[in-house]
Amino acid sequence: MATKGAAVVTKSAAVKAKKASPTKKTTKAPTTHPKYLQMIEEAIMSLKERSGSSQYAIAKFIEEHHKSLPTNFKKQLLLQLKKFVGSNKLTKVKNSYKITAKPPSKKTTTPKKVVAKKAKSVKSPIKPKPKSKVKMAAAAKRIAAVKKAKTPVKKAKK
């Protein structure tokens, strides 16, 4: 039994020694490509598609223009597109992406005048506008057609 206790002690000592040994952390190499937002905006602007650019088209454009991309580039692009849609930097339309229109910067604001509130007046009920004769005639024809379709056709007895 003494050997088991010694074995346990040596295992725990080995684990502690393993944890205590300094581990070298690998540092990330600096990226040689621009930021994803910049690459995506460049791709969308140069593709000039009216309904926005698809993820595939953006990826193809970026791969053509930036040669030093990571191996998991397409997955990273998908994640970045989702992130930019969430932060309203891009707009997703169906399966395409557009650059969100930026509001005009440095807008001059003038203080609004305070208007005295008037006593609330009772509004008369809004009268429905009379329908034109053409619309009423078309509606009547549709109703008549539906009624004819619904009535069962009776066969005459012989």
pLDDT tens, 97-145?
A: 998 887 655 555 555 665 666 656 566 667 666 556 667 777 777 787 7
Task: Please tell me the predicted confidence (pLDDT) of residue 54.
Answer: 93
> What is this structure's pTM?
0.47
Q: Domain limits at 87?
A: 36-99
Could you tell me if residue 61 is inside a domain?
yes
Q: How do residues 65-101 score in pLDDT, each as one tens digit?
A: 888 888 899 999 999 999 999 999 999 999 899 988 8
Could you tell me if residue 93 is inside a domain?
yes
Mean of the per-residue pLDDT values for the chain? 75
- Domains held by the chain: number: 1
**Token representation of residue 129:** 């506008």
Could you tell me if residue 85 is inside a domain?
yes
Could you tell me if residue 26 is inside a domain?
no
Could you tell me if residue 152 is inside a domain?
no
Q: What is the CATH number of the domain that holds 86?
A: 1.10.10.10
Could you tell me if residue 140 is inside a domain?
no
Could you tell me if residue 62 is inside a domain?
yes
Q: How do residues 10-55 score in pLDDT, each as one tens digit?
A: 666 555 555 655 566 667 666 677 788 899 999 999 998 999 999 9
Backbone torsion region of residue 59, taken as left when φ is above 0, otherwise alpha when ψ lies between -120 and 50, otherwise beta: alpha
